[in-house]
Amino acid sequence: MNAQGIMGDMDNDEKIDISDINAMINTILNLTPTQQVEGEIVDNSAIVGTWYETNFNQWGFYANGETNFANAYKFQYIPTCKCILFYDRSGKMTDIYRVLSKQDGTMVLSPYKSNEQIVLYDRLKGQSGKDSKGREYVDMGLPGNVLWASWNVGASKPEEVGSYFAWGETKGYSKSAKHNFSIENYTLSNGSWESITKYNITPGDDHFDNKSQLEAVDDAATANWGSEWRMPTMNEVSILFNADYTWTEVVSVNGVEVFKVTSKKTGNYIYFPMTGYFMGNNSYDNDTFHSWSRDLHYTTDNAYEMYINRYNHGFTYRGRNCGKTVRAVRVVKN
């Protein structure tokens, strides 16, 4: 296959026919690692390839009709856009083709124009990229319309812990600062649990407002990174950790142990450092990642957080005066 680079010129009239591609895809999805597949592409030379992965609910095989795999290709089908991605042996994507149905029932692969490829590639990779300040974000291919930041608010690398915030406060503190995260210092109270001044869902309290989700003015992600960013909801957190969509492992990044969460759909991943959290000016649970959500617990005194440790992950709740990190998300732009 003489694949054009993603930025290169393409013959937009070119068509690549593979007989009964639907059956081919269905067959590949059920292959064992030792089975072979055959088809025709471009110059009618036979494709012979070996199934190589099943992790991401996609299909792929190396193929070039030869025994020498130095110039082989990886094929990847993305059901959500009915398109096929082509990668070279090094793993670099070279082309994207749309899968079209013809009136006679056969399937055709039609190449995107170069500019269409770039747009679609950004979309397939979840619009993964950087904002105007260089802060990276990743699409995990999950239900919903958010992209996850690659590092915490207050950090500049995935392995850095970043800043610690009380829930609903927008001023963060470094771990070394050992700020006293006490109810007496909590800015959304008058110094006691009985005097919570905002996000108070206790009927009869003087400051009862029945608000249970942070407004932008009190969102640490929005306040520090801008209006395109916010803290995640508990629903978004629960989806991120759903075993149907992702898996979690401990890895080392630049010599620092972190948690790696990988999407089963796209293969994209994000790292979460071991942050611990502060209660008062003492830190706890330092081999665990802790980060606030934007949702209040069903009691006024507590808010939901996400956590990851070596044995489990998910969400729980804790006193909103505690100091925890913030991992931002941004809404997908359609």
| Per-residue model confidence as pLDDT tens digits over 120-163 | 555 555 446 788 888 989 888 787 778 999 999 999 999 999 99
Predicted confidence at residue 86, as pLDDT, reads 64
Number of domains comprising the chain: 2
Task: Name the domain boundary from 73, 89, 124.
Answer: 124
Among 97, 124, 151, the domain boundary falls at 124
Residues 312 and 229 grouped into a single domain: yes
Owning domain of residue 54:
16-124
Contact at 8 Å (CB) between 267 and 278?
no
Helix (H, G, I), strand (E, B) or coil at 81: coil
Q: Is the same domain home to 108 and 151?
A: no
Q: Which of 3, 1, 7 is nearest to 113 (CA)?
A: 7
Q: Are residues 86 and 135 in the same domain?
A: no
Q: What is the pLDDT of residues 87-124, one digit of tens each?
A: 555 556 666 767 666 566 555 556 666 656 555 555 55
Is residue 7 a part of any domain in this protein?
no
Distance CA 209, CA 333 (A): 32
Are residues 252 and 192 both part of a single domain?
yes
Residue 69 domain-assigned? yes
Residue 42: pLDDT over 50: no
Domain boundary among 79, 97, 124: 124
Does residue 204 sit in the same domain as residue 133? yes
Domain membership flag for residue 275: yes
Q: Which of 70-74, 118-122, 125-129, 325-329 has the lowest mean pLDDT?
A: 70-74
Q: Are residues 43 and 146 in the same domain?
A: no
Distance CA 187, CA 217 (A): 13
Contacts of 132 (CB under 8 A, 6+ apart): none
Residues 321 and 256 occupy one common structural domain: yes
For residues 320 and 323, give the distance between their C-alpha atoms in angstroms, rounded to a whole number. Answer: 8
Closest CA to 300 of 200, 168, 156: 200
Q: Collect all residues with Cβ–Cβ distance below 8 Å to 281 and sequence separation of at least 6.
A: 178, 179, 180, 181, 182
Q: Does 201 fall in a domain?
A: yes
Q: Is residue 11 part of a domain?
A: no
Does 271 map to a domain? yes
Confidence (pLDDT) at 55: 33
Identify the weakest region by mean pLDDT among 14-23, 94-103, 259-268, 299-308.
Answer: 14-23
- Judge whether residue 298 has pLDDT over 50: yes
Least confident of 68-77, 258-267, 288-297: 68-77
Same domain, 266 and 159: yes
Residues 155 and 55 in one domain: no
Is 8 part of a structural domain of the chain? Answer: no
Residues 174 and 189 occupy one common structural domain: yes
Query: Residue 9 domain-assigned?
Result: no
Residue 147 sits in the same domain as residue 256:
yes
Two tokens, residue 7 = 């930025």
Residues 187, 256 within the same domain: yes
pTM for the model stands at 0.66
